[in-house]
Amino acid sequence: MLTTMEGEMFKDGFYKAFVLLAGPCPLCKECAKSTQEPCRLGNRARPSMEGAGIDVFQTARNNGFPIVPLKEMTETQNLYSLMLVDYYPFEKCF
């Protein structure tokens, strides 16, 4: 859903729209990278916020979102993603 939204933003002129996800990529059961192959879903895969050096816990807290480390796997998780969009659409750059 987020990559679709990213594509829609691009088509609307916001060519710098980019999504970062939380945690490891969930798209494939076994990552092709583990066998030195290229990503099978490179058009949908996105880097993680953590991999980009973003402190997800502090960023969520700074923006008023609830986030705490889980003690048990059965606890409810709060998952976040981040879409970066340049403020000015492409048409306004010229």
- The tens digit of pLDDT for each residue in 8-55 reads 998 988 888 999 988 888 888 888 888 899 999 888 888 899 989 999
Rounded distance between C-alpha atoms, residue 23 and residue 12, angstroms: 28
3 state SS of 21: strand
pLDDT tens across 7-16, in order? Answer: 999 898 888 8
Rounded distance between C-alpha atoms, residue 23 and residue 46, angstroms: 10
At 92 the pLDDT is 60
More confident residue, 89 or 33: 33
- Scored b (16 or more CB within 10 A) or e, 42-72 reads eeebbebbeeeeeebeeebeeeeeeeeeeee
Give 58's pLDDT tier (boundaries 50, 70, 90): very high
At 53 the pLDDT is 93
